[in-house]
Chain A
Amino acid sequence: QVQLVESGGGVVQPGGSLRLSCAASGFTFSSYGMHWVRQAPGKGLEWVAFIRYDGSNKYYADSVKGRFTISRDNSKNTLYLQMNSLRAEDTAVYYCAKDFIAVAGTVDYWGQGTLVTVSS
C-alpha cells in the first residue's frame, strides 16, 4: 500500500533553514508528481509546492517562492523540501502528498505530516 513518511521537522530560529524529507513506498514514485501542503496550527490547508514526476518542472506558492526549493531523488524514492529564510508564519505541519494521476492536481495520498516550528 502507498506510504509517505515525512521527517526533518523541528524547531528553528527565524531566518534559519530546514530540510524536510518524504520517503515514498508502495507505488512507482518516479511516475508521479508530488506536492508539499502545509497547515498552520488551527488553520486550513495551504498548498506549498509541486514537482513533476521527473523533476523537470517545479511550482511554488507565492508565499514561499524564492525561499523554499522542492526536489526529488527518484533513485531513493524520496521527496525533499529545502526551506530557507524561515519566518514565524512558516510554522505548520508539512504534508508530503502524491498527485492523483486520474485528475492531476488532486491529492490521493498524504503522509502523516511533520511539524516545523519557527521561533526564537
Chain B
Amino acid sequence: DIQLTQSPSFLSASVGDRVTITCRASQGISSYLAWYQQKPGKAPKLLIYAASTLQSGVPSRFSGSGSGTEFTLTISSLQPEDFATYYCQQLNSYPRALTFGGGTKVEIK
C-alpha cells in the first residue's frame, strides 16, 4: 500500500502567518491527492482535490501544489477559523486502499 507522511505533525502559528504543510507519498501518485480540514468533534471537510484544485466555497487563502511524491498545502494568511487538523489522502490506489496521511494539527501560538 502507498504510505503518506505528513510534516510537521504539529504546528504552532499566529493569525496572519503563512503556513505550509507537506505530504510525501511512498511512491508516485501523479496528482491523485486531496486535502481535508477537520475541527474537533466535526467531520472532515474537503479543501483541495487533484492536488491543486480548490473545492467550491473554500477561501482562496488555501492552495495546494505538487505531483508525484511531494505535495504541499499552503495557507497564505492564517485566520482564527483555520486552527484545525489537516489531512492529505491519496487516490492513486482507487478504489482500493485510499490512505490518509497522519495529520497536521495547527494550533494558535
Contact = CB atoms under 8 A, between A and B. Distances in A.
Chain A interface extent, by class: 20 to 34
Contacts of B106: none
B49 interface: yes
Interface string A86-103: 000000000100001011
A68 to B, nearest CB: 14
Contacts of B100: 44-47
Interface stretch (A19-27, A76-84, A109-117): A109-117
B49 A103 contact: yes
B95 A100 contact: no
B87 A45 contact: yes
Interface of B is mostly: loop
B43 A111 contact: yes
Interface in B65-109: 87, 89, 91, 94-103
B50 interface: yes
B5 to A, nearest CB: 12
Contact of A50 (B32, B45, B55, B95): B95
A31 interface: no
Contacts of B43: 95, 110-113
Nearest to A35: B98
Interface of B: 1, 32, 34, 36, 38, 42-46, 49-50, 55, 87, 89, 91, 94-103
13 contacts: A45-B36, A45-B89, A47-B97, A47-B98, A47-B100, A50-B98, A52-B95, A104-B91, A104-B95, A106-B89, A107-B34, A107-B36, A112-B43
